[in-house]
Every structure is written in C-alpha cells, then in structure tokens.
Amino acid sequence: MRLEWSEQQCLERVRKSRWPDGRRCPRCSHADWRLHAQGDNGRPKYRCRRCDRTFNDLTGTVFAHSHLSLGKWFECARALKQGPKTCVQLSRLLSVKVATAWRLRKSLRRAFCDPSLDRLFKEVG
C-alpha cells in the first residue's frame, strides 16, 4: 500500500506532530527562530535566536541524517503497524536492501515509543 503524501506533506506531518503549537528549537525549546537557509534537500533550515544553533524539522528525530525519503520511512511504519514483518518482506515491499530494511525496522521500533511522534504515526495509519 503506497503512501499518498508528498515529501513536503510528510515533512509537514513530522513538524505538526513534534510542535503542534509551532516550531521550537530542538536544543533549547525556544520558540523564536528565523529562516536560515534553504537546504539542498529542499528542507528549510532555521536558526534559533537564543542558542544560535541551526536546525530543521527533522533535527533530533530518527529521520534526521537519513538518505531515504520520508515516504519510505512512513511506508515502512505503516507496514509495521499492520503486523510483524521480516526484513525480507520489508525489503521487497519498499524496494530497499535487506540491510536497509533491518535498520529501518530497528529505528522505527524506537521511534514508535517517542511521544512527540505519536500524532504522526497515528496519521500514517
């Protein structure tokens, strides 16, 4: 079952799940930030006005630093929520290597316990 969200919509859903009342600095929780740059990956970067660190909507989440699209992550999450899957099943379903499927599944199991992502995973289905 394919995910019907674009990458932009995926990113929006992560943001809304983490920060339902508006984006905050993941390091100091300050709500005052400014747009810093448009990342090469199409994800805007922000700079916190209190601690001066830069961040994006994925900083500090399991999705940060991943080369996979958010769509793949969420498709995997959806499959796992529908029932246990072997790495081989997941790799076929997502068209990724078995080792990648193994890493995805391991990371997602941890992410399912992250309360800031509850809303997101409910929406994933």
**Cβ closest to Zn ion, residue 50 vs residue 81:** 50
User: Which part of the chain contacts Zn ion (CB under 5 A), choosing from 5-13, 40-48, 86-94, 109-117?
Assistant: 40-48
By CB under 5 A, the residues from 14 to 33 that bind Zn ion are 25, 27-28, 30
From the list 108, 112, 118, the residue with the least C-alpha distance to 73 is 108
CA dist., res. 66 & res. 82, Å (int): 23
Angle at 57 between CA 22 and CA 64, to 5 degrees: 150
The distance of Cα 22 from the centroid of its chain, to the nearest Å, equals 17
Residue 63, SS3 per DSSP: coil
Residue 37, SS3 per DSSP: strand
Would you give the binding string for Zn ion spanning residues 42-71, x where CB under 5 A is met?
Answer: ------x-xx--------------------
Look-up of token digits 């199409």: 42
Smallest gap from Cβ 60 to Zn ion, in A, equals 11
- 37: contact with Zn ion by CB under 5 A: no
Smallest gap from Cβ 28 to Zn ion, in A, equals 3
**Cβ closest to Zn ion, residue 48 vs residue 120:** 48
Residues that bind Zn ion (CB under 5 A): 25, 27-28, 30, 48, 50-51
